Amino acid sequence: MLTYVIRRLLYSIVVLFAASFLTFTFVSVSGDPLAPLRIVPNISPETIRNVTEKKHLDDPIPVQYWYWLKDATTNQFGTTLLGDKPILPDLWRVMKNTLQLVIVAELLAILIAVGIGVYSALRQYSAFDYGATTFSFLGLATPVFWFALMLQVGVVYVYQWTGHNIFPIASLSSVDPGTGISFWIDRAHHLVLPVLVLMVASIATYSRYMRASMLEVINSDYVRTARAKGLPEQSVTMKHAFRNALIPLVTLVALNFGALLGGAVITETVFSLDGMGLYFVTSLGANDPYPIMAWLMITATMIIVFNLIADIAYGYLDPRVRYD
């Protein structure tokens, strides 16, 4: 098992390098990071030349990549192109915010989805089942950003009619959130709508999977054997069926993590949350490769780690798949 993990990690590092190089090339070649600078009136050509030299913008791509690599590993991902702002503190800050959002949304989604999926499977073709299936389909078909917008519109209309601002529709925190508990309560209040948005797509997908998996397991031969042994129905369902049905979901959840970060991009944009998604979009707009690369590297690493966790968890849960 250990050798497997090590092998995977080594391989992942190679993949990371390859991906980073490709992306870096792409980003560097396609955009002009000095564009905002050039349009400033009265900017002297010397300033431009200075920046160009300092940031090695005239060097061939592999050399630029090398500089980035050095900066990334030794200097905490370096600094932004224009303004020399250190990247890591910013990145760290936005990462914490996004993780709050994503982790809460995901945990809630898993709990709810598993419940819905199992119950739908046990009561197949019931009203609940049809309702849950409809909800799944709707959830998967709804554009994330549109749903977020609709929620905002809804809140505004409620405010117009009732004068109550039930949920904040932007930002992570109010202007003066206080400290300690009141800070966190305020934060939670602000996160309600974004979490809701992120949860919908996840619940739709996971509950579908859980239902299908549970149905397959419920109709399997070994569940029939468990019944034939005289086990009480509850034992059959929870001990034998549920455990087996969960296994594919574990993989799905872990692998979905990458998509989650993507969804966070949209949600954060709509709700103006100071998270990784918004950071990424802003950096894109600035054509600055260093923050973009830093973002990609961190995200890619997280995805790799989660994939590895997914595989290990799978091996733990399903003895047929143990890695030697």
Partner 1 sequence: MTEPPRHDMVQSTPQTGGGGAVLLEGAATAKPDSELAYESGVELKERSQWSYVRMRFFRHRLAVASLVILILFALVAIFAKQLAPYSFDEIDLSHPDPNTGLALSPRLENKHLFGTDQLGRDYLSRVIYGIRTSLWVAIFVALLATAIGTAVGALSGYYGGKVDNLLMRFTDLILTLPGIAVLLVAAVYFGSNDSEVSLGPVTVTVPQPMKIGLILALLFWVGLARIVRGLFLSLREKEFVEAAKAAGASDMRIIMRHILPNCVGPIVVFTTLIVAAAILTEAALSFIGYGIQPPNAALGKLIVDGQSEGFTLWWLVTFPGLVILIIALCINFVGDGLRDALDPTQRRTRA
Partner 2 sequence: MREPILEIHDLTVEFGTEDGVVHAVEDVSYDLHPGEVLGIVGESGSGKSVSMLSVLGLIPMPPGKITAGEALYKGQDLLTMPAKQLRELRGGEMAMIFQDPMTSLNPVFTIGDQIAEALTTHHPDMKDDAARARTIELLESVGVPFAERRVDQYPHEFSGGMRQRAMIAMAIANDPSVLIADEPTTALDVTIQAQIVEVLKIAQEQTHAAIVLITHDLGLIAELADNVVVMYAGRVVEIGDVFTIFNSPRHPYTIGLMNSLARVDLDQDRLEPIPGQPPSMVNLPPGCAFHPRCVHSQGRAVCRTDVPELRALESESEHKSRCHFAEELVGLRSPIAAGAEDN
Q: Using CB under 8 A as the criterion, which residues of the chain lie in contact with partner 2 when the complex forms?
A: 220-222, 224-232, 240, 243-244, 247, 317-320
Contact by Cβ (8 Å): 148, 197? yes
Nearest to 198 by CA among 137, 272, 243, 148: 148
Q: Tell the smallest beta-carbon distance from residue 223 to partner 2 (Å).
A: 8
CB of 205 to partner 1, least distance (A): 11
CB of 119 to partner 2, least distance (A): 17
> What secondary structure does DSSP assign to 90-157, as a single string?
HHHHHHHHHHHHHHHHHHHHHHHHHHHHHHHHHTTTSHHHHHHHHHHHHHHHS-HHHHHHHHHHHHHH
What residues line the site for partner 1 (CB under 8 A)? Answer: 12, 15-16, 18-19, 22-23, 26-27, 29-31, 124, 133, 136-138, 140-147, 149-150, 152-153, 156-157, 208, 211-212, 215-216, 219, 258-259, 261-263, 265-266, 269, 280-281, 284, 292, 295-296, 299-300, 303-304
CB closer to partner 1, 19 vs 103: 19
Report the alpha-carbon distance of residue 309 to residue 256 in Å, rounded: 12
**Beta pairing partners, 86:** 79
Shortest gap between Cβ of 114 and partner 2 (angstroms)?
A: 17
Q: Is the Cβ of residue 51 or residue 284 nearer to partner 1 in the bound state? A: 284
- Please choose, from the candidates 110, 73, 322, 312, the residue with its C-alpha nearest in 3D space to the C-alpha of residue 198: 110
For partner 2, the closer CB: 230 or 285: 230
Binding partner of residue 66 among partner 1, partner 2, none, CB cut-off 5 to 8 Å per kind: none
